[in-house]
Structure 1
């Protein structure tokens, strides 16, 4: 009897810890939403809710790619620069009819594949740290954009891209529908394909993955390419929402995407996390920024909130890591 009595509290404690680790962010999201509805009445208005979802979609697209890179023990600081470059490409064609979307998409994806390939090559073949490799690529893209636009980007965003980024169908933002489609594709890839299983194995233990015959460098390389492709798509969605372009479209998304992904339970140590959790992290981060504005805080206060969120995310990650 004594043995049972002594183990039951411990079992319950571990059960509670496991529940919090798996569902803590979802619970926090619900509490945050209810609290915002009570203390910031403007939050629950249909227009504001639609605005939150519309704003969360570009970040969510980028988070999908960042999630893949973090799962293999890296991260990508070049995503915001890829977004801005795709946005500049979107307004660099003289033709502004819907047919211009085809060359825009083609050039944007080629740019993204090139950037992702360089990032992947530097990390896997030259053994450059992900921080330095992607930071260098971010700076290179910034220089190329300023050289191409002569410091002042201009041009019109094609109507189809505007519709994709800012319009809604029966109250549901079109960019959110695109995010859902991409999320299903990435989620199925991670959970149902050999490549997805390899991503988790490489992130969990690269040496063990190599011993069982997995090409670790190839898997990591592929994740960086996919991250850049998704960042380019996110940039096109964002410029469609904004409706105009400058050289800094997407600024801050490199940090926001990392914060949202880690908040969503994707381990910085690799090999653990889900697409759903990362997307909830993106929504929570967008919701927090929206609430700060509704409560009358200045825009600059968002930086304070962002710093606090980073500290909390790191604290939660370290606590979970030590408990394991």
Structure 2
């Protein structure tokens, strides 16, 4: 990238990144307080560790989805990428490859698959939703070819490290967020917002929009595949269809976190809070005795309200 985004475009991006976060934090705090009242055990080290382990994969996948939504796209292949990461981890972490080799294989697969998808979207000018829909079938098929049924092997010590009785998942999430914060200080990081909010303006400011889109897809693929690695560590094995529920949940969590579909609107902090809110909502409804069908209905209604309410308030202020 030859030039950085400057001037009014920069300040527009900063404004859109921080808009409406305090209201989101308040809602998350309210639901979390209710969850603590229903289940005080979460305040213990073991309870907190268990909760963060269940939340962590959704947080990663929501980040993967939000990364593309901020850039003006969306992916329907994030769930199959989770499955692909899980089966690759479970088939490569043998005595020959080792844990380090398995981790590198997962990261590389996510980066390559995501990057190829992004290249098709960026340079062939095809809609991301169509390309990723087709990609979801291809990636899911590859996962089934690698492992037709659940199995494989994850070393016990690695599973214990990631999904044991310590909040390792929470600490890793903090490190990822710090890494994202540092990435945003680079031209490429700021370019993701710029290209999503105003592609033409970003191009005129020196942002290589196509390369930024490819990079967004590649990083999104790494996050999704890494979520699959963690899920495999939780279960101790791989499953070629375990990522299926994550696709729609990632979109729901990103929307709850205030990330817009049209690009340039929202923050990664908001997306993480959205995933936390969705996880807490599910747990609260479980402890309140909601049947599974009612939980889905309640989630849908809350998501619709989360999307519609800001628009209604904006119209009312006009």
Q: TM-score category by the smaller chain? A: 0.7 to 0.9
Partner of 1:265: 258
Which of the numbers 199, 206, 211 marks the counterpart of 2:204?
Answer: 211
Give the secondary-structure state (helix, strand or coil) at the position aligned to 1:197. helix
Q: TM-score, normalised by structure 1?
A: 0.84
Which of the numbers 104, 112, 118 marks the counterpart of 2:110?
Answer: 112
Partner of 1:70: 69
Which of the numbers 133, 154, 179 marks the counterpart of 1:185?
Answer: 179
Map 1:15-164 onto structure 2 (within 5 A): 21-38=20-37, 40-41=38-39, 44=42, 46=44, 47-93=46-92, 95=94, 100-149=98-147, 151-164=148-161
Instruction: After TM superposition, give the deviation of residue 174 of structure 1 in Å.
Output: 0.6
CA contact (8 A) 1:42 1:294 kept: no
CA contact (8 A) 2:89 2:105 kept: no
Distance 1:152 1:199 in 2: 38
Distance 2:294 2:232 in 1: 24
Instruction: After TM superposition, give the deviation of residue 153 of structure 1 in Å.
Output: 2.8
Distance 2:83 2:266 in 1: 28
| 1:107-143 CA-partner distances (Å, limit 9, x unpaired) | 2122112211221012111111111111111110111
Distance 1:320 1:66 in 2: 26
Instruction: After TM superposition, give the deviation of residue 194 of structure 1 in Å.
Output: 1.3
Q: CA RMSD in A?
A: 2.4
Distance 1:21 1:281 in 2: 13
Distance 1:92 1:139 in 2: 21
CA contact (8 A) 2:192 2:212 kept: yes
Alignment of 1:237 onto 2:237: no
Instruction: After TM superposition, give the deviation of residue 218 of structure 1 in Å.
Output: 0.7
| 1:18-53 CA-partner distances (Å, limit 9, x unpaired) | x99231111111111223334x24565534443222
Distance 1:266 1:128 in 2: 22
Partner of 1:246: 239
List structure 1 segments (4+ residues) > 6 angstroms apart after TM superposition: none
Distance 1:197 1:321 in 2: 26
CA contact (8 A) 1:187 1:275 kept: no
CA contact (8 A) 1:165 1:238 kept: no
Which consecutive unaligned segments of at least 5 residues does structure 1 have? 1-18
Which consecutive unaligned segments of at least 5 residues does structure 2 have? 1-17
- Number of equivalent positions: 299
CA contact (8 A) 1:115 1:225 kept: yes
CA contact (8 A) 1:165 1:241 kept: yes
Instruction: After TM superposition, give the deviation of residue 84 of structure 1 in Å.
Output: 0.6
| 1:272-292 CA-partner distances (Å, limit 9, x unpaired) | 222211111111111111112
Stretch deviating more after TM superposition (78-87 or 59-68): 59-68
Instruction: After TM superposition, give the deviation of residue 301 of structure 1 in Å.
Output: 3.8
Q: TM-score, normalised by structure 2?
A: 0.86
Partner of 2:217: 224
Stretch deviating more after TM superposition (244-253 or 225-234): 244-253
Greater radius of gyration (CA)? 1
CA contact (8 A) 1:52 1:290 kept: no
CA contact (8 A) 1:96 1:156 kept: no
Partner of 1:15: none
